[in-house]
Amino acid sequence: MVLQNNGREVIKREGTGTEMPMIGDRVFVHYTGWLLDGTKFDSSLDRKDKFSFDLGKGEVIKAWDIAVATMKVGEVCHITCKPEYAYGLAGSPPKIPSNATLVFEVELFEFKGEDLTEEEDGGIIRRIRTRGEGYARPNEGAIVEVVLEGYYKDRMFDQRELQFEIGDGENLDLPCGLEKTIQRMEKGERAIVYLKPSYAFGNVGKEKFHIPPQAELKYEIHLKNFEKAKESWEMNLEEKLEQSAIVKERGTVYFKEGKYKQAVLQYKKIVSWLEYESSLSGEVTQKAQALRLASHLNLAMCHLRLQAFPAATESCNKALELDSNNEKGLFRRGEAHLAVNDFELAQADFQKVLQLYPSNKAARAQLAICQQRIRNQLAREKKLYANMFERLAEEDSKAKAGIASGDRNLDAEMKDEQNGMAGSQSQVEPEP
């Protein structure tokens, strides 16, 4: 194979299979490098540790990015690299001189796609078929144009060309992992995406596509074009307030439709736009604070429905920082505490609601539940401690009985020993 007329690859041992690494794949190799005069300057084999890098990202010399992309697992090849595809005029002192042509023997052991999850749990794996152009990527709220094909095992279940707003994919039956992937793509990029169930259709599957629960999916996706949404710093205050009002209504629609995750995304936008806005005054301040307060309260409500109770508590705390006596903030925080069995904290919240708003029947009912559960918990603890004391008393009694028995046995043993010593003395004494 010719490397753009500036190097060449000679295969010494064929690899297996048909797949080859793609752009962004993590590849694992062993290599040895020589100058043209046969001087060895580096070898991973000497270190007994495979070398890994992300293909096509400029982490290695150009010749490697080009040549390794043509290899199969198990393949061993010789790569001759002209200076412009190696270290060029600068070289790599002290071992590699200026304008050096290099020879490498490379063996490919493994390659795997790029993990796009924050936790690096393998839930979203991307492999890039064709690199996109530029460095810009779609952000939350961007309008994207995509062509996609979805596969479950070997069956294509989805094939569409779509234009939609990032954050609205669930309305179009797109899994969350696919939207996360699109936000990491460049214009024109073509990629293959592998999704674990938690980033696909999860525990429920997708009846429309005949996808069972806990299914792993594959998508082939082409990001044709996109228009980024304005970032917070690109908007003036009037734009932020105007967009916040629009987004709040959109979030409410999602909530009423039971699309809580999408509603969360909308309310979070308002928080990000207004939370650190410092140029507020007078009537504008009141309007912005009202939007922030509503967003935190609505986020708490969504998190409760999603059973994300710590997040619900955090949103209530944020709302109560703005209005310490807010009825909904106190009540929803009480619900979040109750859901995780923090009965005393829940009781305190419901009591404060009733103190400030005596007619709140829901808080009175929840307070009664808290108090009953606290009584049940105290009863269980009392019974637990009673049983514990009974066991301790029983063990103490047994221990005392054992000591008494041991004392009696010891007395008997000492008596026998004394008798034995007396007999022994009569045998060694001289005859009278």
Question: What count of residues does the chain have?
Answer: 432
Query: Is 41 considered catalytic here?
Result: yes
The beta strand positions in 36-98, using DSSP E, are 40-43, 51-54, 76-81
Structure tokens at 346: 């829940």
Mean pLDDT of 255-282: 85
Catalytic pick among 42, 115, 173, 342: 42
pTM, full prediction: 0.67
Quote the pLDDT of residue 386: 67
Give the burial class of 11: count Cβ atoms within 10 A of its Cβ; 0-12 exposed, 13-18 middle, 19 or more buried: middle
What's CA 335's distance to the chain center, in Å? 26
The confidence score (pLDDT) of residue 432 equals: 34
Closest by CA position to 27, among listed 107, 94, 91, 95: 107
Residue of 23, 61, 125, 270 with catalytic role:
61
**More confident of the two residues 403 and 247:** 247
Share of the chain above pLDDT 90, in %: 71
Which member of 23, 25, 31, 125 is catalytic? 31
Distance CA 370, CA 376 (A): 10
Alpha-carbon gap, residue 280 to 273, rounded angstroms: 13
104 is catalytic: yes
Q: Residue 19 pLDDT more than 80? A: yes
pLDDT tens for 23-63 read 999 999 999 999 999 999 999 999 999 999 999 999 999 99
pLDDT tens-place string over residues 205-229: 999 999 999 999 999 999 999 999 8
- What pLDDT sits at residue 397? 67
Per-residue pLDDT at 314: 97
Check residue 361 and give its pLDDT.
95
Strands 7-13 and 76-81: antiparallel
Confidence category of residue 2, pLDDT binned at 50, 70, 90: very low
pLDDT of 338 higher than 80 = yes
Task: Quote the CA–CA distance of 223 and 166 in Å, as a whole number.
Answer: 12
What pLDDT digit, counting tens, does each position of 81-124 carry?
A: 999 999 999 999 999 999 999 999 999 999 999 999 988 899 99
Q: Give the Cα separation of 253 and 413 in Å (integer).
A: 89
Q: In which band, very low, low, confident or very high, does the pLDDT at 1 lie, cut at 50, 70 and 90?
A: very low
Confidence check: pLDDT of 372 > 70: yes
Indicate whether 263 pLDDT > 60: yes
- For 379-401, what is each residue's pLDDT tens digit? 887 777 766 666 666 666 666 66
Q: Which candidate, 217, 213, 214, 173, places its Cα nearest to that of 195?
A: 217
Catalytic residue among 41, 51, 157, 209: 41
Please identify which of the residues 87, 152, 255, 267 carries the catalytic annotation: 87
42 in active site? yes
Name the band, by pLDDT with cuts 50, 70 and 90, for residue 189: very high
Round to whole Å and give the CA distance between 274 and 242: 11
Residues 130-171 have pLDDT tens digits of 999 988 999 988 999 999 999 999 999 999 999 999 988 988
Mean pLDDT of all residues in the chain?
88
Beta strand spans in 15-123 (E): 26-35, 40-43, 51-54, 76-81, 102-112, 114-115
The mean per-residue pLDDT over the stretch 332-338 comes to 97
How do residues 403-424 score in pLDDT, each as one tens digit? Answer: 556 555 545 554 554 444 444 3
Tokens of 266: 């909308």
